[in-house]
Amino acid sequence: MGINTTLCYVEENGRYLMLHRTKKKNDPNENKWVGIGGKFEEGESPEDCLVREVKEETGLTLSSYSYRGIVTFVSDRYPTEYMHLFTARAESGELIPCNEGELAWVEKEKVPSLPLWEGDRVFLRLLTTDRPFFSLKLTYRGDSLTAAVLDGKSVEF
């Protein structure tokens, strides 16, 4: 039936906290830069998962967050994933080492030039707008993005 995950772009001073995935074995995200997040645990809401994952992976406690959209990933390699996308600000905490890779604060305008999944660039663009909650479906064949559908309508990527 698919997996539910969260992904969060923690913001501070015009930068996003990014995770360079370099440490996990058999990681589909290996060498990619991603936001902070992970899989839901039993009984968690998207917000519960968000707060827990950010704390576990970064040591930061979120003060405020915005639920920006849901991204449905369809792939010929992996189960369908429903990713609940957030932006947030950290209230407190010091960055801790992450067992999945290296954490770095990256200026927002430089993030698209990092090694990212092609579809991540689509939703990162949407996060720069005042667009209300959105639904984005990204279809991959292997590592290649083959279709993007925003709120039920095909979009260029």
Separation CA 4–CA 55 (nearest Å): 18
Burial class (CB in 10 A: 0-12, 13-18, 19+), 116: middle
In the prediction, which pLDDT does 50 show? 97
pLDDT at 156: 87
Question: What is the span of the domain harbouring residue 38?
Answer: 3-154
Q: What is the CATH number of the domain that holds 76?
A: 3.90.79.10
Residue 5 has pLDDT above 70, yes or no: yes
Q: Please enumerate in sequence order all residues whose Cβ is within 8 A of that of 63, keeping only pairs 6 or more positions apart, or say none.
A: 88, 89, 90, 91, 92
Q: How many domains does the chain have?
A: 1
**pLDDT higher than threshold 80 for residue 29:** no
Mean pLDDT taken over the chain = 93
Q: What single DSSP character describes residue 75?
A: E
Q: In terms of pTM, does the model score above 0.95?
A: no
Pick from 139, 108, 81, 127: which is nearest to 17 by CA? 108
What one-character DSSP code corresponds to residue 132? -
Q: Report whether pLDDT(23) > 90.
A: no
